[in-house]
Structure 1
Amino acid sequence: MPHAFRRLALSNLAAQASEQLALAAAPLLAVLALGAGAAETGWLQAAQTLPFLLLALPAGLLADRASRIRLMIGAEALRAVALLGILALAASGRLGLGGLAALGFLGAAGTVAQSVAAPALLPTLVPRAGLARANRWLELGRSLAFAAGPALGGALIGWLGAGPAYGAAIGLSLLSAGLLAGLPEPARGAAPRRHPGQELREGIGFVLSHPLLRPILATAVVFNTAWFVLQAGYVVHAVHHLGLSAAGVGVTLGLYGAGMVAGALAAPRLAACWSLGTLIAAGPLAASLAALLMLATLALPAPALAALALFLFGAGPILWTIHTTTLRQAVTPGAMLGRVSATVLTATFGARPLGAAIGALLAARYGVGACLLAAALGFVAQLAIILASPAARLRALPG
């Protein structure tokens, strides 16, 4: 792969590791140092996900108007400043839940800009034939960070306190920004400036009118809704129905990250013998099978079934992410990549609180079993959407 891409991949790994460390540290700091309960940690989680809903589209507009590398460097600097603020307030004894939530929101805003700009930059650094391979490396970095970051963050806080955990996250963000500094960015022709609303409508309209991107977006929205319906009830189900301890729940959740790593590592071999459409459909198919396995634990409360389900939830959808991202980059005009990526990010992250709310309502009224059943129906629906679409019949990247 080109040298510029290798630097981008290392920067992405450092950025993802910083994000996961910070996401793991924040609720632990809230509970252990600030005495937060479940409601407070829930609001803290909301503050750290809200920027994806509010800021992804403006970030996409910036990514199409300005330097994507400078936007990513600014994003990492913003995250480092936010984390440093948390560390300084904690050290001085002035950190409260409000400050932790506000600075968490600010740090997540940097994550949003990074998430939008990186996929838009990638096609300018890598030949078209290498896009799938490049996306695999980026997703492998994300998977490794997802699998190891929370465990490392928890261990650092448990053994050494919040300072080393946040210090490591700050260092990783600065490393990410340093790797991006001086990276060559191909010049883009100056586009005529129009009203921001018109430009955003153009990006959204492109996705909704494209025969390949529209069903992919619909599948992703249903997937994310169903996934968060499932997450709303899983921990309670694992503890009270499967008889798992807190450590056991952690192990099963860790298998989700392990599945992501395994899927990313297997992607090249599978790509050599499967068509692009099969690779795209593999994620929804694996998720549907996993949801049915999880549903089966209501009748057969075996922790191994739940563990296998979570592994499949990681392994299959990572193939989806790699190859649908590659397809999106291949069919989208370069000048519109930021806005198109932001549209997808906004819709998929917007489905997450919806799924969590549905799961909470179902669990409160009908019990955890209703969450598992609703999630299974959702995963079957997302499989039906993609199988009925032309994306599942693609042999290779379209021209």
Structure 2
Amino acid sequence: MFQKLNSMLHHKDFRTFWLSHTATQFGTQVALLGLPLVASLTLAASPLQMGILGALEYAPFLLIGLFAGVWADRARRRPLLIVSNMGRALLLALIPLIAFLGILRMEWIYAIAFLTGVCTVFFDIAYQSYLPTLVSREQLVGTNSLLESSRSAAQMAGPGLSGVLIQMLSAPVTMLVTSLSFFLSALSLCFIKTEEPTPSRPDRARSLWQDIREGLQLSFSEPLLFGVIRCSAIFNFSWNMMFSVYVLYAISELHISSGWLGFVYGGMGVGFFLGAVLVHKAIQTFGMGPVVVGSAAIASCGGPFAPLALGTGSAAVFLLMMGQFFFGLGMSMWSISTLSLRQTIVPAHLQGRVNATVRFAAWGAYPLGSLAGGVIGDHFGMQIALFAGAAGLMIAVLTLLFTPFLKSKEKTMKELHRG
């Protein structure tokens, strides 16, 4: 295992890509807590406004996700990565500027969240489709695990750093840290020298809708891909139903400070790191299918902790942190295994469109979940919204029982590719 890791780190262009990814993840994690705290602490947002904020951040996956997939298949992917991160850097740098001018309002936060989401759509789809051009098929699980380890490190340190910076500097100023990390990520990508293959051109002109339909057809006709899409959509809807009120609930109901809330999110990072370490061995031992089902089940166990975290003080912080840990552990193993699965069984010329379809369905569920959580929290209370989301996580796992995953025991990418 360590020899494989060493060989991947000696791959200069992958190492550059990994460092860029790490900078992106640290920026994302600071923003993940920072934007809701700007809304709740600086602008005193209501549960409904928090739900709208979450919905706007992920709405681009519904609105342009499929079109971005076609673009990622028709164009070179590295320039998309660079432009997307430069866009996020500039947009998030506007927050402290607007705050300094004294005109910061929820409307500005809504607009920045939406436009940042547009950049995220293009980055995520291009990044997942770009990796197979840098490494071999047999290196996908290892490299995805390494990338996931970076995300876990960011999730351990990022929210805590965000909470401390917010207490020291204010929430708007903390967004400068996020902006800088996205800028450094975009800059480092300019140094990759591996020649990206020229995108294949169809024999005859095809419309945008024909290309989209081809990606949709494969995604929904392949049982394993459809199982991932269905479970992810329900899971993400339910998770964002919780997350839309999570920060506000922790601050207003449990009276947890932004600093301690950063440590709560650090529990997710610990789970992500452990999942990234364990997933390769788990696939070799149990097979891809059981790992996919098991990882979803582990992640769903994190749901009930938040609504059950009654009272205040260290007990509430511990329960919230445990919920984040289980979610991070399961989602890390889920992300690595399902992404490696897609990168293995999907033809290269369809990678962008299939990844876009998965993002469209899975991440497109985020804004709907945010709105549902905001409405439920506003009318029935935030704890009810948290319980409803936790129940939805369990339902998502049950859908996997109606897929071939439990019978899919392939333990290497070569076996999956031949299948």
TM-score, structure 1 as length reference: 0.86
Q: 2:350 maps to what in 1?
A: 336
Tell me how far apart the structure 1 counterparts of residues 177 and 246 of structure 2 sit (CA, whole Å): 31
Pairing 1:168–2:182 present: no
Per mean C-alpha deviation after superposition, the further-off stretch among 17-26 and 178-187 is: 17-26
Of the three residues 387, 390, 395, the one matched with 2:401 is 387
Pairing 1:262–2:274 present: yes
| Cα contact 1:79–1:110 (8 A) shared by 2 | yes
- C-alpha deviation, 1:199, in angstroms: 0.9
* Unaligned ranges ≥5, structure 2: 1-7
Q: 2:5 maps to what in 1?
A: none
Q: Aligned pair in 2 of structure 1 residues 287, 325: CA closer, same or farther (>3 Å)?
A: same
Q: 1:67 maps to what in 2?
A: 76
Q: 1:9 maps to what in 2?
A: 18
Q: 2:227 maps to what in 1?
A: 215
Q: 1:285 maps to what in 2?
A: 297
Of the three residues 146, 169, 192, the one matched with 2:155 is 146
Q: Aligned pair in 2 of structure 1 residues 253, 170: CA closer, same or farther (>3 Å)?
A: closer
2:22 counterpart SS class: helix
Q: 1:205 maps to what in 2?
A: 217
| Cα contact 1:282–1:317 (8 A) shared by 2 | no
- C-alpha deviation, 1:7, in angstroms: 1.4
| Cα contact 2:235–2:393 (8 A) shared by 1 | yes
Q: 1:37 maps to what in 2?
A: 45
Tell me how far apart the structure 1 counterparts of residues 391 and 166 of structure 2 sit (CA, whole Å): 39
1:177-229 deviation line (CA, Å, top 9, x unaligned): 12211422133333344111111121112101112101111111121122234
Q: Aligned pair in 2 of structure 1 residues 290, 88: CA closer, same or farther (>3 Å)?
A: closer
Q: 1:122 maps to what in 2?
A: 131
Tell me how far apart the structure 1 counterparts of residues 374 and 272 of structure 2 sit (CA, whole Å): 26
Aligned Cα RMSD in Å?
3.1
Structure 2 letter corresponding to 1:78: G
Q: Aligned pair in 2 of structure 1 residues 346, 267: CA closer, same or farther (>3 Å)?
A: same
Tell me how far apart the structure 2 counterparts of residues 233 and 37 of structure 1 sit (CA, whole Å): 11
1:222-269 deviation line (CA, Å, top 9, x unaligned): 21122234445656876899x674466654443223212221222233
- C-alpha deviation, 1:9, in angstroms: 1.4
Pairing 1:186–2:167 present: no
Trace 1:294-333 onto structure 2 (pairs within 5 A): 303=316, 307-333=321-347
Tell me how far apart the structure 1 counterparts of residues 251 and 110 of structure 2 sit (CA, whole Å): 29
Tell me how far apart the structure 1 counterparts of residues 99 and 379 of structure 2 sit (CA, whole Å): 40
Tell me how far apart the structure 2 counterparts of residues 245 and 377 of structure 1 sit (CA, whole Å): 25
- C-alpha deviation, 1:368, in angstroms: 5.9
Of the three residues 160, 168, 171, the one matched with 1:159 is 168
| Cα contact 1:226–1:355 (8 A) shared by 2 | yes
| Cα contact 1:203–1:336 (8 A) shared by 2 | yes
Of the three residues 100, 108, 113, the one matched with 2:117 is 108
- C-alpha deviation, 1:326, in angstroms: 0.5
1:43-80 deviation line (CA, Å, top 9, x unaligned): 44333222222222222111101010011111112122
- C-alpha deviation, 1:117, in angstroms: 0.3
State the identity as a percent: 33
- C-alpha deviation, 1:168, in angstroms: 2.6
1:352 counterpart SS class: helix
| Cα contact 1:232–1:371 (8 A) shared by 2 | no
Pairing 1:350–2:359 present: no
| Cα contact 2:142–2:280 (8 A) shared by 1 | yes
Q: Aligned pair in 2 of structure 1 residues 70, 193: CA closer, same or farther (>3 Å)?
A: farther
Structure 2 letter corresponding to 1:221: A
1:150-170 deviation line (CA, Å, top 9, x unaligned): 332332233234675333323
- C-alpha deviation, 1:345, in angstroms: 0.9
Per mean C-alpha deviation after superposition, the further-off stretch among 37-46 and 280-289 is: 37-46
Q: Aligned pair in 2 of structure 1 residues 46, 291: CA closer, same or farther (>3 Å)?
A: closer
Tell me how far apart the structure 1 counterparts of residues 100 and 64 of structure 2 sit (CA, whole Å): 30
Matched residue count: 395
Tell me how far apart the structure 1 counterparts of residues 301 and 40 of structure 2 sit (CA, whole Å): 36
TM-score, structure 2 as length reference: 0.82
Tell me how far apart the structure 2 counterparts of residues 255 and 279 of structure 1 sit (CA, whole Å): 22
* Unaligned ranges ≥5, structure 1: none
Tell me how far apart the structure 1 counterparts of residues 251 and 99 of structure 2 sit (CA, whole Å): 33
- C-alpha deviation, 1:359, in angstroms: 4.0
1:326-364 deviation line (CA, Å, top 9, x unaligned): 001111111111111111111112222333444455556
